[in-house]
Amino acid sequence: MKLPVSASESFVEFAGVQKSYDGEVLVVKDLSLRIRRGEFLTMLGPSGSGKTTTLMMLAGFETPTSGDIMLDGARIDSLPPEKRNIGMVFQNYALFPHMSVAQNVGYPLKVRGLPKAEIAERVAKALDMVHLGSFAARMPGQLSGGQQQRVALARALVFEPKLVLMDEPLGALDKQLREHMQMEIRHLHERLGITVVYVTHDQSEALTMSDRVAVFNAGIIQQVAPPAELYESPANSFVAQFIGENNRLPGRIEAANGTLCSVVLANGDVVTATLTDAARVGEDCLLSIRPERVKIAPPGGPLDNHFEAVVAEMIYLGDHVRVRCVLDSGADVVVKVGNVEDRPVFAVGSRIPLGWRAQDCRALDAA
Amino acid sequence: MLAPSYATPREKLSYFVFALFCALVFLFLIGPILVIMPLSFSSEPWFTYPLPGLSLRWYIDFFTDERWRIALQNSGIVALFATLIATGLGTLAALGLSRGNVPFAGLILSILISPMIVPVVIVAVAMFFGFAAVGLNNTYLGLILAHAILGTPFVVITVTATLTGFDRTLTRAAASLGASPWTAFRTITLPLIAPGVTSGALFAFVTSWDEVVVALFLASPDQRTLPRQMFSGIREQISPTITAAATLLVFFAALLMLTLELLRRRSERLRGTGG
- Domain membership flag for residue B238: yes
- Judge whether residue B18 has pLDDT over 90: yes
Average pLDDT over residues B238-253: 82
Distance of CA A105 to the CA centre of its chain: 29
Q: Using 50, 70 and 90 to split pLDDT, how confident is the model at B271?
A: low
Closest residue, chain B, to A158 (C-alpha): B177
- B131 found inside a domain: yes
Residue B38 included in any domain = no
Q: Give the separation between CA B71 and CA B39, rounded to whole angstroms.
A: 22
Spell out which residues of chain A touch residue B178, defining contact as CB-CB under 8 Å.
Answer: 82, 85, 108, 111-112, 159
pLDDT for A212 equals 93
Q: Which residue has the higher pLDDT, B138 or A323?
A: A323
pLDDT of residue A330: 85
| Structural domain contains residue B55 | no
Q: Please check whether residue B17 lies inside any domain of the structure.
A: no
Residue A280's nearest CA partner among A236, A224, A241 is A236
- Residue A223, H or E segment: strand A220-225
Residues of chain A with C-beta less than 8 angstroms from the C-beta of B177 = 82, 87, 107-108, 111, 155-156, 159
pLDDT at B274 over 50: no
Residue B272: the pLDDT is: 53
CATH number of B228's domain: 1.10.3720.10
- Tell me what pLDDT residue A1 has: 41
- Tell whether B130 is covered by a domain: yes
Contacts A–B by Cβ distance under 8 A: 78
pLDDT band at residue B75 under the 50/70/90 scheme: confident
CA distance readout (Å), A127 to A101, A123, A137, A148, B176: 9, 6, 11, 12, 19
Task: Judge whether B183 lies within some domain.
Answer: yes
For A205, the enclosing helix (H) or strand (E) is: helix A203-209
Q: At what angle do helices A101-111 and A145-157 cross, to 10 degrees?
A: 20
The CA distance from A169 to the nearest CA of chain B, in Å, is 13
Helix spans in B178-240 (H): 181-184, 190-209, 213-218, 226-235
Q: Mapping DSSP to helix (H, G, I), strand (E, B) and coil, where does residue A195 land?
A: strand
DSSP state for residue A141 in the 8-state scheme: G
Does this model's pTM top 0.80? My answer is no
Q: Which domain holds residue B84?
A: 60-271
Q: Report the percent of chain B where pLDDT is more than 70.
A: 95
Helix (H) or strand (E) holding A198: strand A195-200
Say if B155 is an interface residue toward chain A (CB within 8 Å): no
In a domain, B197, yes or no: yes
- Total domains in chain B come to 1
The pLDDT of residue B2:
63
Walk along chain A (367 residues) and give the pLDDT tens digit of each residue.
Answer: 445 677 777 899 999 899 988 888 888 988 899 999 999 999 999 988 889 999 999 999 988 999 899 998 888 888 899 989 999 999 888 999 989 999 999 999 999 999 999 999 999 999 998 888 899 999 998 898 889 999 999 999 999 898 999 999 888 788 888 888 899 899 889 988 899 999 998 888 999 999 999 999 988 999 999 999 999 888 888 999 888 888 988 899 988 888 888 888 888 888 888 888 888 888 889 999 999 899 888 777 788 888 889 999 888 888 888 999 998 888 889 999 888 877 777 888 889 899 999 888 998 888 6
